[in-house]
Amino acid sequence: MSKDNKQKRGQFKEAWIRLRINRAAMFGLSVIILLIIMAVFAPLIAPYGYDEQHLKMANLLPSWRHLMGTDNFGRDIFSRIIYGSRVSLQVGFIAVGIGVLIGGTLGSISAYYGGIVDNVIMRFIDTLLAIPGTLLAISIAAALGPGLTNAMIAVGVGTVPTYARVVRASVLTVKEQEFIEAAKCIGVKDYKIIIKHILPNAMAPLIVQATLGVASAILSAAALSFIGLGIQPPTPEWGAMLSAGRVYIRDYWHIVTFPGVTIMITIFSLNLFGDGLRDALDPRLKR
Amino acid sequence: MNDVLLNIEDLVVSYTSGNKKVNAVNRMNIVVEKGETVGLVGETGAGKTTTAKAILRLIPNPPGVIEKGKIYFSNENLLSKKESEMRKIRGNKISMIFQDPMTSLNPVITIGEQIAEVIRLHQKVSKAKAGIIACEMLERVGIPKERYDEYPHQFSGGMKQRVVIAIALACNPQLLIADEPTTALDVTIQAQILELMHKLKIDFNTSMIMISHDLGVVAEICDKVAIIYAGQVVEFGTVKDVYKNTAHPYTKGLFAAIPSIKGDRLKRLFYIPGLMPDPTNIPNGCPFSPRCSSKLDICEKCAPKDTYINENHLVRCHLYEEKERELDLCQSY
Amino acid sequence: MPVLLKVEGIKKHFKTPGGTLHAVDGVSFELERGKTIGIVGESGCGKSTLGRAVINLIPATGGKVLFKGKDITAFKGKNLHSLRKDMQMIFQDPFSSLNPRMTVSEIIREPIVEHKIKTGNREIEEEINILMETVGLASRLYHAYPHELDGGRRQRIGIARALALNPDFIVCDEPVSALDVSIQSQILNLMQDLQEEKKIAYMFITHDLSVVRHMSDDIAVMYLGVVVEKCSVDKLFQSQLHPYTKALLSSIPSTDLDFKKSRIILKGEITSPINPGDECRFAARCNYATDKCFKETPVLRDIGGYHYVACHYAENLQKGDSA
């Protein structure tokens, strides 16, 4: 067994070597790591508290005192973005994680077994799909009540149909390959076939979809907070900051710009990293 | 030589993969006379399809480049033509049939229209006239003209290949390049298609280049045959010469490796040891030398020259070169 | 030699929107240990489906498969799992039959671990090395990925994977049709050597008649889900009787220029296997067909000396042949 593990580690090490030569992916990864460090050490980095209000100093443009200016309550935007990364990153990653896990499982089971199983699962997914994602999240959040955890669950479940569809399509193509039949012929059990043979070969579109999904998850969470079902103010969160600053966009551009740019950078880095990861996990692309 | 239609001289086509340059076609010489069918035989990756694409100037660039050589078609060098001139030649004077009839037809256009489209593209005829010609073409390839308005998916593989042939011959081309036209078909259907192609070739007086890996198919339909190995023509001659007085060790090996359908069954099949050389790492001298059983010392050092065994039979092998060359003469290649 | 495998009237039907597709419709044959039966036919004749139904990779609709005296069509769960040790398959496409994300050794390891052929890493690794050597794969390829290898080597991996379980019977589904001639003969030789050494029985499915002639002891010719002719290899190539077999044999392009045969060009193409009626399935394309052929399905019958033909006029054709 120990040898088996070594073998596995060898594979991941190989993927890591392939990833490391991809400069764009490494850039993406470094930015993500920086963001995570920022979230963990927020109180140490942020120059002000996230709820420190100085109404006299509202709507200040960026300066040395306030790197990104202040918002309509006179709170330091830079500090709020740093603190906001805690919530936003959590929401983004965990909601996508929930979506990928549930959606991926449903999608692969549905595609692998086909027939009635496929029909039942996919009709259920279709029902979910018929409800707009945000509306679905709102209803779930309304049922569960406000709060960070519930918002993550709500947003995650809202994205399940997308991931289920992506994974199902991908699994359907992989399933037709002869090596799946070969594995059956050897006597490999179904769950092992799915995990070992099908999923690794069906991951590529899922990885791309998931990295894009983080962005929409952050924004969906913002929508929830906007109607009072998500994270409660004054806890800062990028999406909420974006929508709150919207009103002042004509007079004070900086209130809405900085949270927007932060979200953009995060998504951009995630995409670069995701693309690189997809390629690195595919031994066929080895140079 | 009587009327030469196509003359490929010293063609070199290279591909860039990574930062390596690979010669997919290397010093290729092929002559096709009018009304003649020439077979290009070789294994996967030998450079057959690349040669065909080079004739039509369809080598994707990048990564492919026609490095050097000349391709004379009706005494005009195709390699010095403009892209706009080539477009008038493709599908009109030279047309091509691809291996897979399933993917070479547009699934949402009726087959009749697909034939008529090619005619209208190259000939100044009215839409109605093109339709009439298309109907005639269908009949000639053995499809009732009532099926003009049907879509490709309503046809079987063999029937689709007939449609593809009709499209290729619609403009009465001087040269037809068929890239493994029967490989995707069953033997009984293959027999039908080969017979059809043979008949049409005579009717239309078209010259043909037939790319195949099947020596049997080539024997059925070709007048001359070029055996290709690692991007080079190692043997070229009439089918009779090449099949009966096989000269090159590679060709001999190919024939010996095919299980026979008559005579005694052999206990073991003959096989050529080793593998096709990696295109990024073609051996020095003769590319076949590492696998050759009659290898000489010179073979590994020096690229062989073309030697004529008789007027029509050419072989690129040191065994047939008259004088032993001095090693320093190799440098020219 | 005792009979290893006895297939009795095996059927595989698929439900399609247009009706029931009779992919395999009552095929029977016997196979002894260490022998090869060739299954020949064109695409869509059901030969691949037959191969999969025989080893219970897909459930048969009807009929029996007696392997070492036991009917394996009813096998499920544990029985089926341990049956895999006895029956294996070699696949057509050396590109898609190997998981692109697994190395050579991982692919060969899988069956060994799955069936606990060897336990303990040292033993497993040793076994993988022995298998790789048996099929002629250099040990430096231990950690290579399939995409780094050529078709011939990939097919060797597939053979090693099947051999790992030490089966008595292997279904070979067009194992060389994707390979070049010079590689094809290497693989065919390897398969014959293995058969001799390990007394494996092969069911060799192919459309290539020259390959099947080289490999087989007996041959069954299939057309639209049924066997139309079955006999020894020599008999089939010398005195074939069924009009379809005759046409098939005459269609093979030959490299022998002196051997100008009279080619039989068949009319039309293979007809639909959906809801076949009471007729000879070949009748629509047959040059000898009479009214009887369109009304009555001919049964596969022995016309003497282990020569089975499914044609109403087999005897007449036989006489015509000798005259």
A–C CB contacts, 8 A cutoff, strictly below: 72
Chains that touch B (3 or more CB pairs under 8 A): C
User: Model confidence over A25-52: pLDDT tens digits?
Assistant: 899 999 999 999 988 888 888 777 777 7
- Note the pLDDT of residue A118: 92
For testing the chain B interface, which of C154, C179, C182 should be mutated: the one with the most B CBs within 10 Å?
A: C182
Q: Give the pLDDT mean for B35-40.
A: 91
Mean pLDDT lowest among A31-35, A70-74, B44-48, B134-138 = A70-74
Q: Which CATH fold would you assign to the domain A23-46+62-285? A: MetI-like fold (1.10.3720)
Chain C CB contacts of B257 below 8 Å: 181-182, 184-185
The pLDDT of residue A63 is above 80: no
The pLDDT of residue B235 is above 90: yes
Cβ-based interface (< 8 Å): residues of A facing C? 1-4, 7, 177-179, 181-188, 196-197, 200-201, 281-284, 286
Angle between helices B187-204 and C243-251 (to 10 degrees): 50
Nearest CA in chain C to A6: C121
User: Does C184 touch chain B if contact means CB atoms closer than 8 Å?
Assistant: yes
CB C101 within 8 A of CB A180: no
CB contact under 8 Å between C101 and A282, yes or no, is yes
Chain A CB contacts of C55 below 8 Å: 185
- Note the pLDDT of residue B328: 53
Chains that touch C (3 or more CB pairs under 8 A): A, B
Distance of CA B170 to the CA centre of its chain: 20
Nearest CA in chain A to C107: A183
Q: What is this structure's pTM?
A: 0.83
Looking at the DSSP assignment, which residues form a beta bridge with residue C14? C21
CB C267 within 8 A of CB C285: yes
| DSSP H helix total and E strand total for chain A | 12, 0
Chain B CB contacts of C256 below 8 Å: 219, 262
What domains does chain C contain, in order, with CATH numbers? 3-86+167-318 (3.40.50.300), 97-166 (no CATH)
Of A7, A179, A283, the CB nearest to C96: A179
Strands C19-32 and B313-316: unpaired
Distance from CA of C128 to the nearest CA of A (A): 14
Give the helix, strand, coil percentages of chain C, each rounded to 5. Answer: 35, 25, 40
User: Model confidence over C136-162: pLDDT tens digits?
Assistant: 998 888 988 888 888 889 999 999 999
Q: Give the pLDDT mean for B167-172.
A: 87
B121 phi/psi in degrees, rounded to 5: -70, -35
Q: Under the phi-then-psi rule, with left for phi > 0, alpha for psi from -120 to 50, and beta for the rest, what region is B277?
A: beta
Q: d(Cα B233, Cα B230) in Å, to the nearest integer?
A: 8
Chain C CB contacts of A184 below 8 Å: 57
Mean pLDDT lowest among A165-179, B255-269, B315-329, C282-296 = B315-329
CB contact under 8 Å between A7 and C106, yes or no, is yes
More confident residue, A282 or B160: B160
User: Model confidence over B104-126: pLDDT tens digits?
Assistant: 888 888 999 999 988 988 888 88
Which of C113, B58, B113, C293 has its CA nearest to residue A7?
C113
Containing H/E element for A219?
helix A199-226
Which of A29, A90, A14, A13 has its CA nearest to residue A274?
A29
More confident residue, A66 or A172: A172
User: Model confidence over B193-233: pLDDT tens digits?
Assistant: 888 888 888 888 889 999 998 888 898 889 999 999 988 89
Domain map (residue ranges) of chain A: 23-46+62-285
Which of A130, A125, A217 has its CA nearest to residue A168?
A125
User: Model confidence over A121-141: pLDDT tens digits?
Assistant: 999 999 888 888 778 888 888
Which residue type sits at C308? Y
- Note the pLDDT of residue C268: 75
Q: Count Cβ atoms below 10 Å from residue A211 Cβ, excluding itself.
A: 22
| Band of residue C66 on the pLDDT scale cut at 50, 70, 90 | very high
Q: What is the mean pLDDT of chain B?
A: 85
Mean pLDDT lowest among A93-102, B157-166, C260-269 = C260-269
Q: Give the pLDDT mean for C83-106.
A: 90
- Note the pLDDT of residue B146: 86
3-class SS of residue C13: strand
Of C80, C82, C114, the CB nearest to A188: C114
Q: d(Cα B197, Cα A198) in Å, to the nearest integer?
A: 44
The answer, yes or no, to whether the previous bond of C111 is cis (omega within 30 of 0) is no
Chain B CB contacts of C214 below 8 Å: 259, 265-266, 269
The pLDDT of residue C271 is above 90: no
Q: d(Cα B167, Cα B172) in Å, to the nearest integer?
A: 10
| Band of residue A232 on the pLDDT scale cut at 50, 70, 90 | confident
Burial of B283 (0-12, 13-18, 19+ CB in 10 A): middle
Q: What is the mean pLDDT of chain C?
A: 88
User: Model confidence over C161-188: pLDDT tens digits?
Assistant: 999 999 999 999 989 888 888 888 889 9
| Band of residue A2 on the pLDDT scale cut at 50, 70, 90 | very low
User: Does C251 touch chain B if contact means CB atoms closer than 8 Å?
Assistant: yes
CB contact under 8 Å between B261 and C209, yes or no, is yes
Strands B306-310 and B64-73: unpaired
Distance from CA of C297 to the nearest CA of A (A): 34
- Note the pLDDT of residue A168: 93
Which residue type sits at C125? E
User: Does C42 touch chain B if contact means CB atoms closer than 8 Å?
Assistant: yes
Looking at the DSSP assignment, which residues form a beta bridge with residue B212? B41
Of B189, B240, B275, the CB nearest to C150: B275
CB C159 within 8 A of CB C191: yes
CB contact under 8 Å between A186 and C96, yes or no, is no
Residue A220 tokens read as 């969906």
Strands C301-302 and B224-229: unpaired
User: Model confidence over C15-50: pLDDT tens digits?
Assistant: 888 888 889 988 999 999 999 999 998 888 889 999
> Could you give the percent of chain A with pLDDT greater than 70?
95
Q: Count Cβ atoms below 10 Å from residue A257 Cβ, excluding itself.
A: 17
ipTM of the complex: 0.84
DSSP codes of every residue in C236-285: HHHH--SHHHHHHHHHS--S-TT------PPSS-----BS--SS-TTGGG
| Band of residue A3 on the pLDDT scale cut at 50, 70, 90 | very low
- Roughly how many angstroms between the first and final C-alpha of chain B, as a whole number? 27
Angle between helices C151-163 and C104-114 (to 10 degrees): 20
Distance from CA of C131 to the nearest CA of A (A): 16
- Note the pLDDT of residue B322: 72
